[in-house]
Amino acid sequence: MTIGSAVRRGHVRALCGRLTLVIAGGLAAVLATASAVPAAVAPPRIGVLKSDGRALVKEGGLSTTWVTENTDIKQIALAGDRIGVLKADGTALVKEGGLSATWVTEHTEIKQIALSGNRIGVLTGDGRALVKEGGLSATWVTENTDVKQIALSGNRIGVLKSDGTALVKEGGLSATWVTENTRVRQIALFGNRIGVLKGDGTALVKEGGLSATWVTENTDVLELALSGNRIGVLKSDGVALVKEGGLSATWVTENDNVLQIALAGNRIGVLKGDGTALVKEGGLSATWVTENDNVIQLALSSGTD
């Protein structure tokens, strides 16, 4: 269906509110270090959240069979061989291993879940960002308060404070926070890259240390996604763009009438305005494959996240 840019903007913002932009694609991925061991290697996975609240996941090729993972869900997150879901009642569950592994209840009264390697992050209803490292029953550590988004990648943790300040720490769970930017509405992490989406729609990315220099990537942006050496943006007119390589690489138009963009490994996913989830694998000009319909969130995992 055709959606005007104003309506699309409303849909995207509503979606981002529900999913807290993480995506993990998301929106959160991995930089392997001694303090953040990657999750076990799994086949690449695709997850979708259907409009009826069912969370489905498939692993392997783009045409493999879907497995229903849980119901009454409002967010899904993937990383390595872990799957996380956030139930409508605020309960966060994670499973590890195959698609039929047993769920473990991680926390209650949650409004966002994030996964990366052997770390799990949750954002509580009262704005506390908590992270655990190791097994599914490890102990939670309070990372920050007054938070509205949490992002994980390898040994980095990012939080977006309610006043728009973006902070990142690197190393152990008790490492020191570094202020990255202000007036931010989304933070994204992958490897040694940090991305922020400013309140005015400007997407910035830095590469290297926490004090590296910001590069302006695009303007009039609604969502930012990072994976490997790829950067994806969703423009306010619904156009999804991806670049590959350095921070100054050339943008490629991937699709239009888009509500969400997701990246993982050599895959790009988009959620169209009519609820159709599409994924492509390979180069930026690869062919799209229709994955599912009546979808309200799309999640991708390379299997080594």
Q: Assess if residue 145 is contained within a domain.
A: yes
pLDDT band per the 50, 70, 90 thresholds, residue 41: confident
pLDDT of 2 strictly over 90: no
CATH code at position 105? 2.130.10.30
In the predicted model, what is the mean pLDDT of residues 211-222?
98
Q: In this predicted model, which residue has the larger pLDDT, 80 or 19? A: 80
In the predicted model, what is the mean pLDDT of residues 13-21?
40
- Contact at 8 Å (CB) between 59 and 69? no
In the predicted model, what is the mean pLDDT of residues 120-139?
98
According to DSSP, residue 172 is labeled: S
In the predicted model, what is the mean pLDDT of residues 154-167?
98
The gap between the terminal CA atoms of the chain, to the nearest Å, is 34
Helix (H) or strand (E) holding 186: strand 184-190
Q: Assess if residue 39 is contained within a domain.
A: no
Compute the mean pLDDT over every residue in the chain, rounded to the nearest whole number. Answer: 90
Q: Assess if residue 2 is contained within a domain.
A: no
- Contact at 8 Å (CB) between 209 and 217? no
CA atoms within 13 A on the CB side of 113: 29
Q: How many CB atoms lie within 10 A of CB 250?
A: 9
Task: Give whole-number Cα distances, 131 to 84, 174, 186, 274, in Å.
Answer: 14, 10, 19, 35
* Residue range 259-283, pLDDT digits in tens: 999 999 999 999 999 999 999 999 9
> Quick one: pLDDT at residue 39?
53
> Quick one: pLDDT at residue 85?
99
- Quickly tell me which residue has 């699309």 as its tokens: 8
Q: Assess if residue 282 is contained within a domain.
A: yes
Q: Assess if residue 161 is contained within a domain.
A: yes
Residue 287: both structure tokens together: 């062919």
For residue 161, give its domain range: 45-301
Domain count, the chain: 1
> Quick one: pLDDT at residue 10?
46
> Quick one: pLDDT at residue 139?
98
* Residue range 189-206, pLDDT digits in tens: 999 999 999 999 999 999
Please give the Cα distance from 76 to 55 (Å, whole number): 7
Q: Assess if residue 10 is contained within a domain.
A: no
pLDDT of 26 strictly over 80: no
Q: Assess if residue 227 is contained within a domain.
A: yes
Helix (H) or strand (E) holding 15: helix 5-19
Q: Assess if residue 82 is contained within a domain.
A: yes
Residue 36: both structure tokens together: 């953040």
> Quick one: pLDDT at residue 3?
36
pTM of this prediction exceeds 0.85: yes
Please give the Cα distance from 103 to 115 (Å, whole number): 15
* Residue range 74-96, pLDDT digits in tens: 999 999 999 999 999 999 999 99
> Quick one: pLDDT at residue 1?
38
